[in-house]
Structure formats: structure tokens, C-alpha cells
Structure 1
């Protein structure tokens, strides 16, 4: 399956999740939980990355979608991009990685990894190994 095909499949699945989840919760007229508006592309990139790390089975589409929803409840999209970038490049070596090893970057990395760990736990994702 090509990456484009996978992305289209995930987009299709993501469009189905909200109505199905809403119907399953039985919340009817209850106000939805506060969440920040993330662009679809950002959510899809997260889900695909999460599935790369945790397996490409169909259940992980839902679990990884759940995780980004949990993160979106806490962080604005700009904060998410900043923290996830710091986390992704925290182990980048050499002079180019120096920006990602300053105290502020380390604090942002820790916040993001803690938030992601909590989201994984809440959504039933078994984290294979913790990144240091």
C-alpha cells in the first residue's frame, strides 16, 4: 500500500470516528469536551507516525486518533508543533542539535512526552519503549 493510499485510508477512517464515537457515548445533547482545532493534515501526520511506532493494524487507527484528540484537549496546535518538534529532535547530535538541548527545549520535550504517555495510556496504546 502506498503512503498516499495509507493517508487516504486514515483520512476516511478519521471522518468516521467522530460520528461513531459520538453515537457510542450516548452523550446526545451534552456539550463536547473543549478541544483545540488542529488541521486535518496535522492529525493525520500524528496518526501515521503513531502507527509507524506502534503497528499498522486497524485498531491503532482508532487508538492513535484517540491519542491526538487527548493531546488536542491540552495543547494549542502551535504548542503541539513546538513541543513535538523539540521531542523529535531531542537526541539530534552535533552542532545542529544544540538548539534542541537547551533547558527550555528539555522542559518542552519532557512536557510533551509526559502528555503523550498519558494519552497513550488513556487510549490503550502499549508503548514499546520510552525514548530518552
Structure 2
């Protein structure tokens, strides 16, 4: 039963990742305001809650949004969250090639944002 569920989860994730890969990143406004706000709040928490950090963190999510389609961003954020789950499910998210690809895309976009904004 667990292996069937695992296969279904991996298949669903692969389908989601494939769909997200097709999305285009040229729409700078495809990130909902709530997603941008969550990013900025988390970024500010990590970088000091100053006026300068508001500017830098806002810049950072704008750069990420210009480089990474929102669907791919959601996939990477989901992978980050699910990879912290213990057991078989978390292992699947830590070891899947699709998961690694989504994380790599996010990390490249974050690195570019770091260079441009901080």
C-alpha cells in the first residue's frame, strides 16, 4: 500500500514539475502578492528588519520572479518543505531528480538575486 502511494506521489510530482517547466518566466507579475510578501517577510527576518532589508528583499523576489516561473518556484518551495519530512515521503523529495532540478533552479535564481540586490 505504501509503495503504491509512493509511486502515485512521485508520478504526480513528476507531472507537476513537467507542467511547471513549460511555464514561461517572462511575465514579471505572475507571482501573487501574497507569495512576494511571504518571501520578503522571511528574507527580512533572515537579514535584519531594517528599511535597507525591505529594499534588498523586495529586489530579490523581483529578480527571482523574472528568472523563475511561479509554478517552478512553488515546486521548489514544496520540495524544500517536504524534504524536511521524516521517513519515506521526505526521502523521495530529497532524492528525486525532479526535486533536485527544481531546487537547483531556485538556488540559481537566489544566487543571481543575491549578486544584484545585496
Normalising by structure 2, we get a TM-score of: 0.67
Match of 2:35 among 39, 42, 48: 42
Aligned with 1:61: secondary structure? helix
**1:90 Cα deviation after fit:** 3.7
CA deviation digits over 1:67-125, x for unaligned, max 9? 1000111122111111222234445432231231212111211221121111112101x
Q: Which of 51-60 and 93-102 deviates more?
A: 93-102
Q: How many residues align?
A: 92
Please tell me whether the aligned partners of residues 90 and 106 of structure 1 are also in contact (alpha carbons under 8 angstroms).
no
Please tell me whether the aligned partners of residues 34 and 73 of structure 1 are also in contact (alpha carbons under 8 angstroms).
yes
Aligned Cα root-mean-square deviation (Å)? 2.0
Tell me which stretches of 4 or more aligned residues in structure 1 moved more than 2 Å: 87-96
Whole-angstrom distance in 2 between the partners of 1:118 and 1:90: 24
Can you give the 5+ residue segments of structure 1 that lack an aligned partner in the other structure?
Answer: 1-32, 125-132
Structure showing the higher helix proportion among its residues: 2
Normalising by structure 1, we get a TM-score of: 0.61
